Amino acid sequence: MVTTPLAGKIVVSIVSTVVQVSPPAWHIEYDVRNTSDATIWLVIDESLVFREEGDRIELSFARGRMQPAAHPFGYFDPTVVAIATGQRRRQSVDITWPSRLSDLWNDRREARPSPGEYDVSVRVGFAPTRSPPAPKTGEGVETPVLRWQEEAVSPPVRLTIPPYSSRP
């Protein structure tokens, strides 16, 4: 793993959660704080990469690798926003259960975890520059983006997925 000057300098914290029972949903607010000595560029694409393993769920807003069978109509650089040294940015996400997912980034079209308790974390992507470099000769379009982007993850918080309502 390559260590960069920004590694460990970006702090992600879940600061507020609301669990809605009917229909089942989560509202999560999280902060991204820049404790580095330079401005960072936070990826704010609306693409969610959902990861579930046992009682752990990760909600990733970092630019991920496209699924092997994905056929996008084009590949665009991530949408970013600057966070200056010592500043923070509050982000929020609403997740309804079951949750529709983009098959461009996920290996399934729907997240339907069993009702119960989960340790939930949020992952973000960021970089030291506004945009990634152009691809090198023979390199795929997503390779420079994944090389440019660094990632940080929040400590988990415990959240409940309420029982799903039966629909008529």
Per-residue H/E/C for the chain: CCCCCCCCCEEEEEEEEEEECCCCEEEEEEEEEECCCCCEEEECCCCCEEEEECCEEEEECCCCCCCCCCCCCCCCCCCEEEECCCCEEEEEEEEECCEECCCCCCCCCEECCCCEEEEEEEEEEEECCCCCCCCCCCCCCHHHHHHHCEEEECCCEEEEECCCCCCC
- Spatial distance between the Cα atoms of 44 and 130, rounded to a whole number of angstroms: 12
- pLDDT value of residue 74: 62
Q: Is 0.85 topped by the overall pTM?
A: yes
pLDDT at 168: 44
In this prediction, residue 5 carries a pLDDT of 57
Question: What confidence score (pLDDT) does residue 72 get?
Answer: 65
Contact 30, 13 (CB under 8 A): yes
Residue 142 has a pLDDT of: 84
∠ CA 44-47-48, rounded to 5°: 110
Per-10-residue mean pLDDT of the chain, 168 residues long, equals 62 97 96 96 92 97 84 76 97 96 91 97 97 88 90 97 75
Question: What is the pLDDT, as a whole number, of residue 2?
Answer: 41
* pLDDT for the residue numbered 47: 85
